[in-house]
Amino acid sequence: MKKLSIVLILTALVAGGVFFAVQQPLSADDDSSSKKSEEKDDEKKKKEPVYLVELHTVGSREMTTYVSGTATLQADRQVDIFPKAAGQIKTLKVEEGQKVSKGDLLIALDGDDARLQLEQARVNLKRAQAEYKRIKTSYDKSLVSTEEFDAKKFEMERMKAEFDIANYKVEMTQVVAPFNGTVVNRFAELGQTVQPSEKLFTIAALDPLKAEVFLPERQTYDLETGQTVTFSRTDAFKDAFDGSVTRISPVVDRETGTVKVTISVTEAPRYVRPGTYAHLRIVTHVEQSDTVLPKKALVYDSRQNTYVFLAERDEKDVDKLRVKKKEVKTGIEESVYVQITEGLQAGDRIVLTGKDSLKDGALIKDPNVEVSAKK
């Protein structure tokens, strides 16, 4: 019995030793595998993403301050033409688009009666003038009384007045241009019987054209007559043409707080005419700035503070670039460019495009820019 117990104990000890020997190397392999996995995780954590961007170098540019607005161009002078008397149109001399000079005949009405009356008045006036001349000679020789002389003088003056009236009636049958201009509308037809209340033509002086723009009072502080105004039919100011400030109203409209500025456009292009809607700019200040960049490089926070992403060399690896989110102050703004008054200096490189996903300190790369260890 004792021998059996001893055999069982020895068997158990041997089995335990074998189990231990087998288990020991397996545990070592697991530890090695776990360490390699941890090292890979650490490498992944150390590997940062690199953002592809486009960089822009801050440089100098001439910046312009201007007042902008829109206006509809109109004729400098435009009037509607009405007849002074009723009558039938016997002669129609002009058409729409035709240029006319002051005094040119536009329309002749039927004026036979008026011309007959004028001829009769002319005869009567000549007879009265002859009689007055004869009696004046006698009066100077004291051959006639003062009463007879005054009567003939009064008769001559009355005939002169009747002649003037008859002549005016003839003139009323002639419709003439009141100034140099262009016929922009014709409403009359040959043979039509018209009344003094009926419109015949619209005539406009097309050179110069004018524009009236209403600007906030503060925008007129730097304006003065004679300043150049740039016009264009598009907000991109292609095919621009120039005008000049001719009048600035001395008063401010109480209801709108605006000031009326009148602008003249001399020798406008052919495609510009009354009714053309145009954008305008009036330059008020020109300045050479050393720190200018495109407006699209700016970013804003929820409080509307202005920032840029400034490219700087990595402190640990000078061949790499990181971005720094930097607050800036802006000055003059144009359609594309903006002046930076604080926060940057000439030569700084900022992110122009690709900034949407950037954070402060992110690694960046511009494929078109070679980063050298030399600064």
Question: Is 199 among the domain residues?
Answer: no
Confidence of residue 42 (pLDDT cuts 50, 70, 90): low
Question: Is 371 among the domain residues?
Answer: no
pLDDT digits (tens, 9 = 90+) for 181-223: 999 999 999 999 999 999 999 999 999 999 999 999 999 999 9
Q: 41 phi and psi, to 5 degrees?
A: -60, -40
CA dist 114 → 82, 85, 153, 166, 173 (Å): 19, 11, 26, 7, 8
94 in the same domain as 166: yes
300 in the same domain as 275: no
337 in the same domain as 294: yes
CATH of the domain at 238: 2.40.30.170
71 in the same domain as 213: yes
Sequence-distant (6+) residues with CB within 8 A of 263 are: 71, 210, 211, 212, 213, 229, 243, 244, 245, 246, 280
pLDDT value of position 165? 92
56 in the same domain as 84: no
Question: Is 109 among the domain residues?
Answer: yes
pLDDT value of position 19? 41
Tallying the residues shown for the chain, one arrives at 375
Structural domain count of the chain? 4
pLDDT digits (tens, 9 = 90+) for 59-69: 999 998 889 99
- The torsion of the CA quartet 193, 195, 200, 204, rounded to 10 degrees, works out to 160
Confidence of residue 107 (pLDDT cuts 50, 70, 90): very high
CATH of the domain at 154: 2.40.50.100
Which pair of structure tokens corresponds to residue 126? 């000549």
355 in the same domain as 292: yes
pTM, to two decimals: 0.61
Q: Which of 286, 302, 333 is the last residue of a domain?
A: 286
231 in the same domain as 177: no
111 in the same domain as 100: yes
Question: Is 163 among the domain residues?
Answer: yes
Q: Which residue has the tokens 């002086």?
A: 205
Question: Is 358 among the domain residues?
Answer: yes
357 in the same domain as 332: yes
Question: Is 314 among the domain residues?
Answer: yes
Question: Is 370 among the domain residues?
Answer: no
pLDDT digits (tens, 9 = 90+) for 227-254: 999 999 998 888 899 999 999 999 999 9
Residue type (1 letter), 366: D
pLDDT > 60? residue 1: no
Instruction: Tell me the percentage of the chain whose pLDDT exceeds 90.
Output: 67
Q: Which of 194, 214, 236 is the last residue of a domain?
A: 194
Domain ranges, residue 3: 1-41
pLDDT digits (tens, 9 = 90+) for 66-106: 899 999 999 999 999 999 999 999 999 999 999 999 999 99
pLDDT digits (tens, 9 = 90+) for 354-374: 988 899 999 999 888 776 554
Question: Is 251 among the domain residues?
Answer: yes
pLDDT value of position 335? 81
